[in-house]
């Protein structure tokens, strides 16, 4: 039987759905697969660039080496962000994943885009004819297969998460709090497009005898990488600064709080992304019954503990609501139900 609308909205959030707990391991598999593929591809493209002298092939080699370095940064990011909370970082190190992912995006811009555009311009100014085109085509064909395998893994993970959150795949890739999935998806997609561009440039070079198409292909590959790097840098910057979660997750958290027997109503609620699939929750609640000050503090602490036990919640700070504060109502709760839950 298909779940109703409320169930689907609950399944969007790690606060409610247990399937998000597996996201970290899946992300690691995605990055490791991309790293292995890019090491092989980068080595093959470098050898082909030396043999053929094609500008587009050199651009592709720089692209793959930049991707390889980025995957190393992403693995470091996951490892450092997974460290347990301590006295100096009571809510953990989750946001460090965005810092290392930022380094990876900057590396993609500097190495991949910078080398490709610079070499393409140099080739236009001082052309050097390429040779051994068959080598280039074979290496690009193998690269297409390996990059495709890596991209399919990132696509599979992104599609599954998008389905749980009732989003499009591209929307999920841009919105996800996991930068490793976004980086691998974007880099592999750019790699596949780059292979097509490089192949066209090399083929045009072979057919016309002119080095201009090959040099232009190198520049286009660099511009493509620059665009991808810019998108990744901007997204990581937003998450480093701090970003509230999407409305669906906010609504799921509100429903979860209202389902607790100790909570009569919620007047304030804010969830901020604190790392890949991690949130920090603050809010104000009105407790059920008429507890005295001591009992109220105990009940509030109990609610905090229950919320903190939910996978993905790294910190909780709740206070008692003021009587005059209006109640928050989940999108699927009618005004009549809201009145029954308030005092």
Residue 259 and residue 112 share a domain = no
- CA separation for the pair 318, 310 (Å, rounded): 15
Residue 105 and residue 136 share a domain = yes
Residues in contact with 69: Cβ distance below 8 Å, sequence separation at least 6, in sequence order: 104, 107, 111
Q: What is the DSSP string of 26-70?
A: HHHHHHHHHHHHHHHHHHHHHHHHHHH--HHHHHHHHHHHHHHHH
Q: Is 194 helix (H, G, I), strand (E, B) or coil?
A: helix
Residue 330 and residue 281 share a domain = yes
Residue 101 and residue 59 share a domain = yes
pLDDT given at position 270: 93
Residue 252 and residue 237 share a domain = no
Where helices occur in the chain by DSSP H, the ranges are: 5-10, 23-52, 55-81, 96-107, 114-125, 133-164, 169-175, 179-208, 212-241, 247-258, 293-308, 335-340
pLDDT given at position 16: 38
Angle, in degrees to the nearest 10, between helices 212-241 and 179-208? 170
Q: CATH number of the domain that 284 lies in?
A: 3.30.70.1350
Residue 270 and residue 234 share a domain = no
Domain boundary pick from 221, 241, 261: 241
Beta bridge partners of 319: 284
Single out the residue of 69, 45, 9, 71 nearest to residue 136, CA to CA.
45
CA dist 85 → 82, 263, 301 (Å): 9, 28, 20
Residue 296 and residue 170 share a domain = no
Other C-beta atoms lying within 10 Å of the C-beta of residue 205: 26
Residue 301 and residue 236 share a domain = no
Residue 172 and residue 134 share a domain = yes
pLDDT given at position 332: 62
Please give the backbone phi and psi of residue 272, each rounded to the nearest 5 degrees, phi first. Answer: -115, 140
- Give 109's DSSP letter: I
Residue 252 and residue 210 share a domain = no
Domain boundary pick from 185, 216, 241: 241
Residue 185 and residue 66 share a domain = yes
pLDDT given at position 265: 92
**Domain span at residue 296?**
247-340
pLDDT given at position 320: 92
Q: CATH number of the domain that 100 lies in?
A: 1.20.1510.10
Beta bridge partners of 57: none
Domain boundary pick from 241, 274, 309: 241
pLDDT given at position 342: 39
From first to last of its 343 residues, the chain has per-residue pLDDT tens of 333 443 333 333 444 333 344 445 777 888 888 888 888 888 998 999 899 888 888 888 888 888 888 888 888 888 888 888 888 888 888 888 899 888 888 888 888 888 889 888 988 888 888 788 889 899 999 999 988 988 998 899 889 888 888 889 999 899 888 888 898 899 889 989 999 999 999 999 889 988 899 889 989 999 998 999 999 999 999 999 888 888 888 888 999 999 999 999 999 999 999 888 889 999 999 999 888 888 999 999 999 999 988 888 988 999 999 888 899 988 764 444 444 443 4
Number of domains in the chain: 2
- Report residue 121 as tokens: 């311009």
Sheet of 313-320: strand order equals: 263-275, 278-287, 313-320
320: part of which helix (H) or strand (E)? strand 313-320
pLDDT given at position 219: 93
pTM: 0.77
Residue 314 and residue 295 share a domain = yes
């Amino acid at each position: 039987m298909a779940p109703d609308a409320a169930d689907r909205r609950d399944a969007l959030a790690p606060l409610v759905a247990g399937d998000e707990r597996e996201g970290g391991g899946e992300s690691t598999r995605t990055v490791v697969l991309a790293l292995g593929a890019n090491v092989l591809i980068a080595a093959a493209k470098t050898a082909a660039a030396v043999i053929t002298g094609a500008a587009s092939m050199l651009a592709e080699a720089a692209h793959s080496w930049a991707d390889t370095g980025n995957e190393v940064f992403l693995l470091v990011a996951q490892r450092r962000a997974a460290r347990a909370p301590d006295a100096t970082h009571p809510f953990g190190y989750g946001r460090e994943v965005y810092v290392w992912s930022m380094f990876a995006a900057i590396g993609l811009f500097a190495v991949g885009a910078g080398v490709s555009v610079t070499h393409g311009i140099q080739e236009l100014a001082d052309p050097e004819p390429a040779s051994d085109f068959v080598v280039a085509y074979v290496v690009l064909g193998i690269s297409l297969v390996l990059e495709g395998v890596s991209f399919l893994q990132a696509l599979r993970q992104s599609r599954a998460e998008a389905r749980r959150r009732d989003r499009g795949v591209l929307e999920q890739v841009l919105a996800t709090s996991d930068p490793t999935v976004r980086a691998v998806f974007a880099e592999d997609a750019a790699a596949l497009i780059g292979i097509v561009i490089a192949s066209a440039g090399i083929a045009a070079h072979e057919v016309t005898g002119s080095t201009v198409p090959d040099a232009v292909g190198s520049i286009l590959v660099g511009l493509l990488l620059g665009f991808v790097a810019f998108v990744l840098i901007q997204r990581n910057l937003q998450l480093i600064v701090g970003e509230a979660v999407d409305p669906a997750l906010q609504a799921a958290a509100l429903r979860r709080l209202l389902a607790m027997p100790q909570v009569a109503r919620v007047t304030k609620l804010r969830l901020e992304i604190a790392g890949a699939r991690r949130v920090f929750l603050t809010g104000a609640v009105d407790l059920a019954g008429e507890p005295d000050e001591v009992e109220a503090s105990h009940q509030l602490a109990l609610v905090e503990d229950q919320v903190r036990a939910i996978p993905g919640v790294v910190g909780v700070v709740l206070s008692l609501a003021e009587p005059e504060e209006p109640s928050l109502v989940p999108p699927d709760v009618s005004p009549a139900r809201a009145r029954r839950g308030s005092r």
